[in-house]
Structure 1
């Protein structure tokens, strides 16, 4: 290999001196200053193959954790136990101890599965308690609603769930369908705020033909406070034996359709209020 001329022309002699200094424990900076080597590339070639002295190596912050993890593994600890004890990831633990023998299994697979299941059940219970607490707190925070608040909430509900007028199909009337009893109760409360008499309401059940229509009509009639014989003929949806829908149990009641007679003006008020809500929400207070 050709070496630079000038101050580095005696490359081999310079390398011998550099190696000797390295083995004597000097750092790169010390060797560079001692030999007056200003070129890092030349310095790299002079020290090629020579490991740095131990005192120049930066300590690894995880060396202590690694040693402790190996110690615990040799005592028969599992990855989970080591993770809890040391607070490090399982991937790191695996790198540190995978060459060590696995601890003897102290439980049968069935026992381990039962323990894991109990732990998971406890987790699910805790999550359910947190879920119910969050819901109860939010419910309590709402409090009683004024008629104005009921009106605005009802407008939003209707715009999301009710039948709407289209330019190509004029349907300016209130026509609402839903399967949630609480939604139906709220819709009726909204109609009360609008001053709609119950005599102006017509009801119909929409349900799959495989369900019990009479029971469904009885259920909805009791909910809205009318005689089931006043219901219009049910709308039956064709049953698909291969259906993947989940609402096929005995508790399935279909949907209740509510028609409001002579409601064109109410529909226009609802639609206008909806766009008022949209515009009002877009305007930010100063």
Structure 2
């Protein structure tokens, strides 16, 4: 019985060997033959090592190896990019968790002072702030109203844009009005910056220029802000 099984196995191996030799003779790579016949690469190499290939077949195999190498690099790069994006998301969530979503009045006070330290106007004793980020603008206005008790009616806004967007100024001002909740009647005359080229923005990004916030009748609060900034400076000393 064992002899019969041995013959069957030998015949199967002989058939597979002939198939491997035939495929190699057609210019197939070792890896291609291994996948097609489900046989280890070492066995394929042993069976077909004496098969002579034409120059054209060798060039084809060389090109195939090169393409596999490139494909492998692309796959590895894609995998790395995906892993990097995943890690960035994890880090983003960790950072978001450290801040949380509930803020005390003291938290808001410090946030606003830090914003003013970086982007606020510190000369001529008139309270002002400028930025192009709608979310930062909203946060600063919230700070003015809740911490500074600034009436909305005392707030004046002015839009500054690239002169190439002069035709879109009404749309841009309307966007800022909706974002801030401040009516257009409290907007001052826009100013236009001269530039040589009109920067192109992707469809996902709206160009809104820079919004300048000015507040009337807040000299006392302005100097209080400078005092709070000075207090923050002492943290680093």
TM-score, normalization by structure 1: 0.55
- Name which of 123, 131, 135 aligns with 2:92: 135
Aligned partners of 2:155 and 2:186 also within 8 Å: no
Larger Rg: 1
- Name which of 196, 210, 225 aligns with 2:164: 210
CA distance in 2, matches of 1:182, 1:257: 14
CA distance in 2, matches of 1:215, 1:114: 48
Aligned partners of 2:152 and 2:182 also within 8 Å: no
How many pairs were matched up?
173
The 1:229/1:262 distance shift into structure 2, 3 A limit, reads closer
Structure 1 moving runs of 4+ over 6 Å:
none
- Name which of 261, 270, 273 aligns with 2:225: 270
Q: Gaps spanning 5+ residues in structure 1: where? A: 1-75, 77-103, 166-170
How far did residue 246 of structure 1 move? 6.5
Higher helix content, 1 or 2 = 2
How far did residue 107 of structure 1 move? 3.0
The answer to which of 197-206 and 128-137 deviates more is 128-137
Alignment partner of 1:207: what SS?
A: strand
The 1:124/1:155 distance shift into structure 2, 3 A limit, reads same
- Name which of 176, 185, 188 aligns with 2:141: 188
CA distance in 1, matches of 2:195, 2:159: 16
Q: Gaps spanning 5+ residues in structure 2: where? A: 1-29, 31-60
Relative contact order (C-alpha < 8 Å, sep 6+): which is higher? Answer: 2
| 1:164-243 matched pairs, under 5 angstroms | 164-165=122-123, 171-192=124-145, 193-211=147-165, 212-241=168-197
TM-score, normalization by structure 2: 0.66
CA distance in 2, matches of 1:148, 1:191: 14
- Tell me how large the CA RMSD over aligned residues is: 2.3
